Chain A
Amino acid sequence: MINMALRLSGYDLRAFLRNRQSQFFTLALPVLFLVIFASVLGGSGHTTQVAGGQISTSVYYVPGIIALGIIAACFGNLVASVTAQRERGVLKRRRATPVPAAAVIAGRALTAVVNAVAMAAVLLAIGWAAYGARVPGRTALALAVTVAAGAVSFCCLGYAITSLIRDEDAALPATMALMLPLYFISGVFVPVAAMPHWLADAGEIFPVRHLANALLVAYNPHTTGLGFAGLDLLIVAAWGAAGLLIALRTFSWLPLGR
């Protein structure tokens, strides 16, 4: 089963690397967002208040955009590609073979997690090279665990959403429409400190805010201890678990659109 999932993931990854649209939305867009937000709002000398002190606003954007990168790979790209595979009969044809269902599902999720981890590494490298932000050694483990937990949770949410989308062309706009407002109210595009209370409170409901916050805690040089944001991670995982339950009940191998 695990062998089969790894095998499928290898082929999914190969197909991903040949798809320019996926690459743009999953790899290029997060880098672009980081550079733009850090340049426009980060500028020289701008700082942002975080737990334990001030950090440069450019540095503040790195963990938020890592959250965006994780969500682009595990939610946006996964929803778009799984919906397309389902509507084009690719999933149905795979289902007609002896390959275990769980291997197909886990294989595609693994591809998304690999993309998310690669994206996080690229953004960390940019943060280090351009903004001089280094991950403290004692919180490195927390950062890795947070990236992985966030990636897996958003894969589960992605699988839950695919059942609601009947048209493969609607997948990308639908995930964008869902996520863009959340990026704004979750501290990804605008620091939470700069938002009115009611908007910040609304952001607290959704997993984006908690993933961004958990990444910030692990990335923030003022953080003391190991950098695990336990409550945030728990809320992200709870959203993921809810997504998994919905996905298990509603996932379809057959096209829904006709």
Chain B
Amino acid sequence: MDNIISVRGLVKRYGRREVVAGIDLQVRRGEIFALLGPNGAGKTTTVEILEGFRRRTAGEVSVLGNDPDTAGGAWRDRVGVVLQESQPEPGLSVRECLALYAGFYRAPRDIDETIALVGLTGKAGALGTRLSGGQRRRLDFALALIGDPELIFLDEPTTGFDPSARRAAWEVVAGLRRLGKTIFLTTHYLDEAEHLADRITVLSAGHVVAEGTPRTLGGRDRMATAISFTLPAHVQAHDLPPGLGTLTGPGPGGSTVLHSESPLAHLRMLGDWALSRGLDLPDLDVRRPALEEVYLSLTAPASTKDQR
């Protein structure tokens, strides 16, 4: 597998406080990888180590075949960075900012084309400091892209955005995917990771607590499906066929909930049983666990522990 980023046993300590507690990560060429976790999980520390801004306490890190701690200008030429917080260059217009940054790289992209790619064509002549929050973030994207990098780091790119600005930022990221860029994204928004990422690693209190695709994260694909229904008054739960009775429990509003790991077979048993008795189950509902529930169950215990 063609790994763009490879991390083994990464540890970062500040004094006695362990912010990153030995994590492993692999990011493949051309994918959007999300590092998901609550605030204080160690996401920004991790991404800043990968960007070469912070030194690690222990572990092996390789980004584009180099150690970011010692890599030089030739390596930075291949990497684009959108910082969590950075304001525009004071006193320069959007186009001037991009012209300045284009001069830093060996083979920059076309300036106007890059402005168009992030949707700032109408603002090309405006001072960066006069842009709205969402527009500033587009300028950040453009500055990260202007060197035509292979790999782009996005550290919480939509934190504090209203829903429409977030959608717009997501569209820009989707555009980067079409350019074939590898993207390393950190976020504490589950829907952002689910919407954008090919693979997600969940970080909580400095530990990797889960990894997978949005479909398989946390064993979501193998988790019990909740089948709920309300039995008529004259039928009791213990009247259900033996294979089902042991899986059921009381649900809200007098309903019955059946936690099934093989929902198709169990639905068939339930249906055959009900039809043979002439019963109808009008509020029958079959629900897969939402990613949000999976995420909360993964991060909740650790993050409550983390609170001081």
- Chain A interface (Cβ < 8 Å from any Cβ of B): 4, 7-8, 11, 14-19, 81, 84-85, 88-90, 92-100, 253-255
Q: Is there a chain A Cβ closer than 8 Å to B79's Cβ? A: yes
**A4 to B105, alpha carbons, bound, how many Å?**
11
A254 to chain B, nearest CB (A): 7
**A8 to B89, alpha carbons, bound, how many Å?**
12
* Contact present for B105 and A90 (CB under 8 Å): no
Task: Choose from B81, B89, B104, B147 the contact partner of A90 (Cβ within 8 Å).
Answer: B89
* Contact present for B76 and A98 (CB under 8 Å): yes
**A19 to B79, alpha carbons, bound, how many Å?**
32
Residues of A within 8 A of B148 (CB): none
* Contact present for B104 and A93 (CB under 8 Å): no
Residues of B within 8 A of A16 (CB): 91
**Contact string against A for B residues 83-94, beta-carbon threshold 8 Å, 1 for contact and 0 otherwise:** 101111111100
A129 to chain B, nearest CB (A): 31
Stretch at the interface among B95-103, B222-230, B252-260: B95-103
B291 to chain A, nearest CB (A): 32
Known contacts A90-B86, A96-B76: does B104 contact A14 (CB below 8 Å)?
no
Residues of A within 8 A of B89 (CB): 11, 15, 90
* Contact present for B83 and A89 (CB under 8 Å): yes
Task: Choose from B74, B91, B96, B105 the contact partner of A97 (Cβ within 8 Å).
Answer: B105
Residues of A within 8 A of B83 (CB): 89, 92-93, 96
Q: Nearest B residue to A13 by beta-carbon distance?
A: B91
**A97 to B96, alpha carbons, bound, how many Å?**
16
* Contact present for A93 and B74 (CB under 8 Å): no
B282 to chain A, nearest CB (A): 57
Known contacts A19-B90, A88-B86, A92-B53: does B143 contact A98 (CB below 8 Å)?
no
* Contact present for A14 and B91 (CB under 8 Å): yes
**A214 to B111, alpha carbons, bound, how many Å?**
48
Residues of A within 8 A of B150 (CB): none
Known contacts A4-B104, A90-B89, A93-B81: does B76 contact A14 (CB below 8 Å)?
no
B21 to chain A, nearest CB (A): 23
Task: Choose from A14, A81, A92, A96 the contact partner of B96 (Cβ within 8 Å).
Answer: A14
Between A and B, 6 residue pairs with Cβ closer than 8 Å are A15-B89, A90-B87, A96-B79, A97-B147, A98-B77, A99-B104
**A14 to B128, alpha carbons, bound, how many Å?**
14
Residues of A within 8 A of B87 (CB): 88-90
**A92 to B83, alpha carbons, bound, how many Å?**
8
**A33 to B228, alpha carbons, bound, how many Å?**
83
Known contacts A4-B103, A19-B91, A89-B86: does B74 contact A96 (CB below 8 Å)?
no
Residues of A within 8 A of B77 (CB): 98
Within residues 133 to 190 of chain B, which ones have a CB less than 8 A from any CB in chain A?
A: 140, 143, 147
Give 10 nearest A-B pairs by CB, closest first.
A15-B91, A89-B86, A98-B73, A96-B81, A88-B87, A99-B104, A98-B76, A18-B91, A97-B104, A98-B77
Q: Nearest A residue to B76 by beta-carbon distance?
A: A98
**A17 to B105, alpha carbons, bound, how many Å?**
26
Residues of B within 8 A of A98 (CB): 73-74, 76-77, 104-106, 147
Q: Nearest B residue to A3 by beta-carbon distance?
A: B103
**Contact string against A for B residues 52-84, beta-carbon threshold 8 Å, 1 for contact and 0 otherwise:** 010000000000000000000110110101010
A60 to chain B, nearest CB (A): 37
* Contact present for B103 and A7 (CB under 8 Å): yes
Residues of B within 8 A of A255 (CB): 85
**A41 to B87, alpha carbons, bound, how many Å?**
46
B205 to chain A, nearest CB (A): 21
**A89 to B144, alpha carbons, bound, how many Å?**
14
* Contact present for A84 and B86 (CB under 8 Å): no
Residues of B within 8 A of A84 (CB): 90
**A200 to B51, alpha carbons, bound, how many Å?**
52
**A98 to B80, alpha carbons, bound, how many Å?**
10
Residues of A within 8 A of B105 (CB): 97-98
B161 to chain A, nearest CB (A): 17
B7 to chain A, nearest CB (A): 19
B145 to chain A, nearest CB (A): 12
* Contact present for B53 and A14 (CB under 8 Å): no
**A8 to B103, alpha carbons, bound, how many Å?**
9
* Contact present for B85 and A89 (CB under 8 Å): yes
